[in-house]
Amino acid sequence: EAQVTQNPRYLITVTGKKLTVTCSQNMNHEYMSWYRQDPGLGLRQIYYSMNVEVTDKGDVPEGYKVSRKEKRNFPLILESPSPNQTSLYFCASSFVLGSTDTQYFGPGTRLTVL
Amino acid sequence: AQSVTQPDIHITVSEGASLELRCNYSYGATPYLFWYVQSPGQGLQLLLKYFSGDTLVQGIKGFEAEFKRSQSSFNLRKPSVHWSDAAEYFCAVGANYGGATNKLIFGTGTLLAVQP
């Protein structure tokens, strides 16, 4: 089944404790992206990747890191999480670069930073 | 700057009634427009999309949307709502900065409640 998977689905952590949220897609997509969803703000892009070893900042990259060492995986790293990073995070992927291509979303990771 | 506005934060309709969710966009070029649905605890599922051509677009689950360039709108409609349609709906515009990114710019969402 074609899908985007994220782990963990739920995470509660404390300020400053490094964490990684994994994202994996099995559709051989080149383009992957991370969004965060906050009430009243919709979804905002954090980082995106156009292909292996090619990443760039989105609208709200502060406090986050990403890497793209393999085509299928695009982990989101919070080196020192803070409470303002409490949010619902979505990974997305699409086959090619370009606004006409449909992006497929993972199920989301709900992160709480205490 | 590109933006998407969904004026209705929360809408309640009766099962079997018709539905229209509003979406207005601001984008300098030809917009690529999407509607996604998010069921509780789920990710986002694409309902439909508009790139060009016929301004009335058919999607899954009986939804349709009409692109009106003169009004900068892309409203989502369904003639008869089912209880399973209760979810949050997001309108989005695809921002393509010369091919550098295919970021989606989302509206803030409309939460749909369906009453029996």
All residues at 6 or more sequence positions from B72 whose CB lies less than 8 Å from its CB, including other chains:
B24, B25, B26
Residues in A closer than 8 angstroms to B101, CB to CB, are 48, 50, 56, 58, 97
Q: Is A1 on the interface with B (CB under 8 A)?
A: no
Query: What pLDDT score was predicted for residue A98?
Result: 56
Residue A34 has pLDDT above 70, yes or no: yes
pLDDT tens track for B87-102:
999 999 886 555 545 6
pLDDT tens track for B49-107:
988 788 999 999 999 999 999 999 999 999 999 999 999 999 998 865 555 456 788 99
Tell me whether residues B43 and A106 touch, CB distance under 8 A.
Answer: yes
DSSP-assigned states of every residue in B81-116? --GGG-EEEEEEEEEESTTS-EEEEE---EEEEEE-
CA distance A76 to B14: 41
Q: Is B10 on the interface with A (CB under 8 A)?
A: no
Q: Among all chains, which residue has been given the structure tokens 């992006």?
A: A103
